[in-house]
Structure 1
Amino acid sequence: MSIFNETETIALLEKLTNTPSPTGYTKKIMQVMATIFDEIGVPYTRTNKGALIVTLKGENDERHRLLTAHTDTLGAMVKEVKSSGRLSLSMIGGFNWNAVEGEYCTIHTASGEEIRGTILMHETSVHVYRGASSLPRDEKHIEVRVDARVKNADDTRTLGIEVGDFVSFDNRFEQTDTGFIKTRHLDDKASTTLLIELVKYVHQKQITLPYTTHIYISNNEEIGYGGNSNIPEKTVEYIAVDMGAIGDGQQTDEYTVSICAKDSSGPYHYELTQQLVRLAKANQIDYKLDIYPYYGSDASAAIKAGADVRHALFGAGIESSHAYERTHIDSLRHTADLLYAYVMSPMVDEEEEV
């Protein structure tokens, strides 16, 4: 059985990716999340860092599960208002500057104004700058061309733009007739969407899960500490639902759910990871088992913070991560199915007792 509703999932995913939320500037997206949970009719708590935690009461209230996804995304902050009136940027999250060159963006001022711009090389014009194509794409050469009549720093500051203002990148959401979804910030709004759909399904069908399960929507993952606190003390298993990394040497693709065995933080909990593999096989869920070499998650952040939990990670395969990302509807479907199979299964140390 598949709990996946394609129409609802894609509509919600588009809504979330359309909402700017670079790490540190997530109040709006978290309010969107709160409104969604209010509409579903499930209570939630809010952490001091701004994360939301929904708790679904289970038959066993002594041993808990936690599943997390994050709403914060890559972005930037204004590093300098240049004498030309353009802006230099400070990167938020781990991406390459060439991944955002030529992208439209929004500058979010402290007064609440939103001013449009374009991220470009300073030496963009080939008619002026000889050898521009070979110059490094870095913070010294990349800048924002502000869409206003500005000729100097004073003109730009008159608009309300100042150092420390957040800059979000346009997502450019598109669903193709071949089943692909292209947009920035599938990491990790694809997983957030699937967790919301899981909560809605369980609530509307009045399903009682075998264990009390917490749905933790974090908002600081891209900088390394989103889900490392406020973990309920009865939590035994901690699952990060996050993107699968695709590239040379990887098994992960855009059509299956990716189960991570190890990332840059080290191996994930072996027995829990193997349980996910068994669940995928038993439920005819297409999956790939993989290692992500340059990667960290909220689950690994929780372990580093000292949480005494079994941790694992799985999610949809995302092509061109931290750039203009893409996945396929099949990958979202298989991830949703593994989510449901997992929350309905016994804990890994109780499998033999069932």
Structure 2
Amino acid sequence: MARLQIDIDYLADQLKKLLAIPSPTGFTDTVVRATSEELKRLGVPFEMTRRGAIRAWLDGKASNQRRAVISHLDTLGAQVKQVKDNGRLELVPIGHWSARFAEGARCTIISDRGSYRGTILPLRASGHTYGEDVDKLPVGWEYVELRIDALANSREDVLRLGIEVGDLVSIDPQPEFLDNGYIVSRYLDNKAGVALMLAALEAHKREKAVPTVDTYWLFSISEEVGVGASAVLSHDVASLVVVDNGTSAPGQNSSEFGVTIAMADQTGPFDYHLTHKLIQLCRDNEIRHQRDVFRYYRSDSASAIEAGADVRTALATFGVDASHGYERINMHALRSVAELLTAYTLSPVQIERDAKEIGPMKGFTEQPLEKASQDLGPGDRTNGDPFVETEE
């Protein structure tokens, strides 16, 4: 069955709603509840882990081996490291992002007594005060501080407000949706991945499309700190497709259009067979795509493998410019990844042996080593099936 049609208005609406909900790692209850409510509205069954990772599912035509798709609900953020004598807050980042992108950001401090607004500023923020020294300040978290929009001129003032060390800080995403399809915002990584997964689910329900096999739709809550899929992935899953952002930048092959298939990240190559299946699905369904390799990147795939899951993993991305900064993407890429997910869930199973975690040699995969034929076109396959070895 071919890919399903994606409702991009629905996708954009879901992305706007998700971006409006603060969800730095460690503060994801609200976004989990919102996502759960949308799943309920769509009629998609789900369950949750203790901490709030979501496992939704669509029953398939068979249950011999299960597939899963995953994106993460948590975002980058910051935490109060120290209340300074001048009433400002020293911060440490949640996740890996540069203080360069924190300078000037509006934010919310989440304290036990309630929330406060503020701005992250460089230590030397006024040219009228510091002159050219403003431009000489190094970049780093030790060179910025959070100014609270309340009476907070001393450490005692701040403590009186109820703000303490360890309080979480959510950075404003400042989203803009442009008429030409571009979307500019913080935290497209990975609110955009969640939105396009919801759009793929909406397409399944609208078209009454039944997946080939039972398929889990997973939403993790701690990917930005490296442990996302480790708890929510069950052992009956044979293949896991991760949805996250690609890195559109000089020296990278990612694009803000189409699907960018990651061939490897800093943890090594993704599964050969599942990755090439996604590539072939893009070809068969005329979905624009390109490949890339990420040197300074990890995803929910890494946390699953490191937790001991014997699961094939692949990474389908939407290329984001200025990832982990003030990001930009085009709706074309989000729609394309959502279309690929529908084509994947409706595609036939190629490796029947994967139904069991362990088994004999029969049915084990084979990676082709044939010499390339100059007669083949760029979209053709070499002779024979590279996926399955049928001998004992």
Q: CA deviation at 1:299?
A: 1.1
Aligned AA (1:317): G
* CA distance in structure 1 between the aligned counterparts of 2:45 and 2:4, rounded to whole angstroms: 26
CA contact (8 A) 1:271 1:348 kept: no
Alignment of 1:170-185 (within 5 A): 170-185=172-187
Q: Deviations 1:302-347 (Å, cap 9, x if unpaired)?
A: 1111101111001211110000101001111111111111111123
SS at match of 1:124: coil
CA distance in 1, matches of 2:80, 2:223: 21
Counterpart residue type for residue 117 of structure 1: G
What TM-score results when the alignment is normalised by the length of structure 1? 0.96
Separation in 2 of the partners of 1:236 and 1:283? 23
* Distance across 1 between alignment mates of 2:183 and 2:232: 33
Give the CA deviation at 1:41.
Answer: 2.0
Residue 10 (structure 1) aligned with residue 12 (structure 2): yes
Q: Report the AA paired with residue 88 of structure 1.
A: E
Kindly indicate whether the alpha-carbon contact (under 8 Å) linking 1:300 and 1:311 is maintained by their aligned counterparts in 2.
Answer: no
**8 Å contact 1:3–1:336 — kept in the other structure?**
no
Q: Which residue of 1 aligns with 2:373?
A: none
Q: What SS is found at the alignment partner of 2:18?
A: helix
Query: Is 1:185–1:322's contact at 8 Å kept on the other side of the alignment?
Result: yes
Q: Aligned pair 1:217/2:219, yes or no?
A: yes
Is residue 92 of structure 2 the alignment partner of residue 90 of structure 1?
Answer: yes
Cα deviation for residue 2 of structure 1 reads 4.7
* Map of 1:116 onto structure 2: 117
Residue 207 of structure 1 and its aligned partner are, at CA, apart by 2.0
* Aligned partner of residue 139 in structure 2, secondary structure: coil
CA contact (8 A) 1:107 1:167 kept: yes
The DSSP-based 3-state class of the residue aligned with 1:200 is helix
Query: SS in structure 2 opposite 1:209?
Result: coil
CA distance in 2, matches of 1:247, 1:119: 26
After superposition, the C-alpha distances for 1:81-126 in whole angstroms (9 at most, x for unaligned) are 1111111101101111001110100001123x12100000111112
Cα drift, residue 133 of structure 1:
1.2
* Aligned-residue offset at 1:229: 2.3
Amino acid at match of 1:295: Y
Kept in 2, the 8 Å contact 1:198–1:340? The answer is: yes
Tell me how far apart the structure 2 counterparts of residues 137 and 63 of structure 1 sit (CA, whole Å).
49
Matched to 2:178, the amino acid is T
Q: Which residue of 2 aligns with 1:228?
A: 230
Summarize the alignment of residues 269-288 of structure 1 with structure 2, pairs less than 5 Å apart: 269-288=271-290
Q: Aligned equivalents of 2:143 and 2:251: distance in 1?
A: 32
Of 200-209 and 135-144, more deviation after overlay is shown by: 200-209
Q: What residue is the counterpart of 2:329 in the other structure?
A: 327
Give the Cα–Cα distance (whole angstroms) in 1 for the partners of residues 166 and 256 of structure 2. Answer: 36
For residue 207 of structure 1, what is the aligned residue in structure 2?
A: 209
Higher mean Cα deviation, 244-253 or 198-207?
198-207
Larger CA deviation: 122-131 vs 316-325? 122-131
In 1, Cα distance between equivalents of 2:88 and 2:163: 10
Q: CA contact under 8 A between 1:62 and 1:234: conserved in structure 2? A: no
Displacement after TM superposition at 1:205 (Å): 2.9
Superposition TM-score, scaled by structure 2 size: 0.87
CA distance in 2, matches of 1:328, 1:203: 25
Q: Which residue type is aligned with residue 277 of structure 1? A: I
Kept after mapping to 1: 8 A contact 2:54/2:232: no
Tell me which amino acid in the other structure corresponds to 2:319.
G
**Separation in 2, partners of 1:140, 1:311:** 38
Once the two structures are aligned, what percentage of the paired residues are identical? 37
User: SS of 1:15's equivalent?
Assistant: helix
CA deviation map 1:180-205 (0-9, x unaligned): 00011000111101111222222333
Matches within 5 A, 1:19-34: 19-34=21-36
CA deviation string 1:226-261 (max 9, x = no partner): 101232222110111111111121111111211000
CA distance in 1, matches of 2:220, 2:232: 10
1:142 and 2:144 correspond? yes
Counterparts of residues 1-354 of structure 1 (less than 5 Å): 2-111=4-113, 113-129=114-130, 130-349=132-351
Mapped contact 2:4–2:203 kept (Cα < 8 A): no
| Whole-angstrom CA distance in 2 between matches of 1:297 and 1:141 | 29
Structure 1: 5+ residue stretches without partners = none
**What CA RMSD, in Å, does the superposition of the two structures yield over aligned residues?**
1.4
| Larger Rg, first or second structure (1 or 2) | 2
- Residue 176 of structure 1, CA deviation: 1.3
